[in-house]
Amino acid sequence: MLLKNKKITGNISLHGDKSIAHRAIIIASHFPGIHIIKNFPQNNDLIATLTIFKQYGLKYKISKNNIKIDSREISLIKQKINCNESGTTARLITGYLSGANIETMITGKKSLLKRPMGRIISPLDTFGVNIKGFNEKLPIQILPSKKIDNCNYIVDIPSAQIKASLILYSLHIKGKNLIKGKIETRDHLEILLKDLGYPIQYDQKKIIIDGKGNINKNIDITLPGDISNASFIIAAAILIKDSNITIKNMCINSYRMGFISAIKKMGANIELMNRKIINGEKIADINIKYSDHLIGIKIHEKDVPSLIDEIPILSIIANYASGETLIEGIGELKVKESNRIEAIIQNINRMGGNTSCNNNVLKIEPKKLYSTTINSYGDHRVYMTFYIVNMVIDGEDKYNSKDNIYEKSFPNFLNIMEKVFI
C-alpha cells in the first residue's frame, strides 16, 4: 500500500480498551452470572485471560464485537495455566488465584518468562500465601496455605497491575483490605467494581476493599476505545499534512491522559468533544488535526505512569518538534515485551536520528529521519510505532509481512490504517 500524498481523515471508532477488558473478564468470572461486554477487543492478550477461565468452567460466546460470558459453573480447582505472552494476565491472575488459595502453576511463552514478577510475589508472600517464583519470574507455583491474611500493603512501585492484583486478591479475603502508597495509576478496576455496587472505597491515598462482597447486578457494559491504540492514529494525524480525523467514544480516564497532555504541551492541534460518563468511565470524542509547530518538552518522572505505553510513539512525535524532548524515569520500559528503551534508540538512530538514554532519561534531538524496514523486536508497540514513522517519512508502509506481533493488542491495526487514509 503506497500512501504518498494522502492524509488521515474521517470519523472512526476503535475496539474497546484492553486494560478494562482484562479486568471485566476476571470480575465476570468471579461473580456467577451471565454477563455482557460490548465493543470487546479480540486480541491475543485477552484470549489468554479467557482461555484460563475456560479451564475453570467459564463459557463464552463472541458475536461481532460483543462477548457473552456465563460464569455460573466456574469451579476454582487445581490447574496449570498458561498466560501466553500477556504480562497483564500473569500479574492479575496471580493475585486473584492467590486469594482463592488453590494449587496453581502459572506459566507463559518464552518472552513472558523474562518479565519481572517479584513485584507481585513479594506482597502476596507477606500475606502468608505459599507462593514461589523462578528467580522472581514465571513460572510461579501457588500451594494452599493454612491461613492467608487480609491485604494491608503499601505499594512502592507505581503500577496499575500491582494494584489490581492486590484488589483481586482481596475479593476472596473476608473483612477490610487496605492498599496505600503509590496508587495513583489507572483505576479501571476500582471504577468497575464501584459501578457494579461492590463495597470498595478509594481516593488518591488509599483503597479499602471489603472481601467476600457481592455485586448488585450482572455486568452489562460498553467498553470505550483504547487510547493506547488510538495514539498511533493520533501521531500520524499530527505529522501528516492536511490530516483531520475524529476518533469517537474514547476512554479519557484521568490516569490514561498523559499522552494527550504531553502532545498538547508540544503544540498538537487536538480537541476533546462530547464528553460523557459511561459505566463510570470518562468518555469523549477526540479530534486531531495536522500540527506543524511542535516544540520539545520535558516530561517528569511522576507523569510517566500515565503515558508509559505511549512513550515509543511519543518519541517519534518529539523527533518532529523544535528543540529536544526529555522523558525522565523510563526504567520501566526495560521490562516490557522488549527493552523498549533500546528498541526506540536503535530504530530511530538507524533511521538517521539522534536519540539516547542516560540515567533513565530519554533524550530525543530532532533530526531528519529516513525510512527503513521495521524491526519490531517482538514488541507490538514498537512495531506500530515504526510502521507509523515510515508512513510519515515517505508514505510507504515498510514492514515484514510475516511479523504479526501487532495482533497482541490491535489485530485490525493494518485495516484501520488503510481505512483512515484517503
Pick the catalytic residue: 17, 226, 285, 309?
A: 309
Distances (CA, A) of 95 to 105, 168, 243, 335: 13, 6, 44, 20
Among 239, 286, 240, which residue's Cα sits nearest to residue 261? 286
Closest CA to 183 of 165, 150, 160, 200: 160
275 CB neighbour count, 10 Å cutoff: 10
Any bridge partners for residue 104, and if so which? 79, 142
Following CA atoms 18, 21, 23, 27 in sequence, which dihedral angle do they give, to the nearest 10 degrees? -170
CA distance 133 to 285: 43
| Amino acid letter for position 169 | Y
- Eight-class DSSP state of 324: -
The amino acid present at 72, given as its one-letter code, is: R
Between the alpha carbon of residue 117 and those of residues 80, 88, 132, 137, 270, the distances in Å are 17, 11, 10, 5, 37
309 part of the active site: yes
The burial class, CB within 10 Å (0-12 / 13-18 / 19+), for 128 is middle
Active-site residues, by number, are: 309
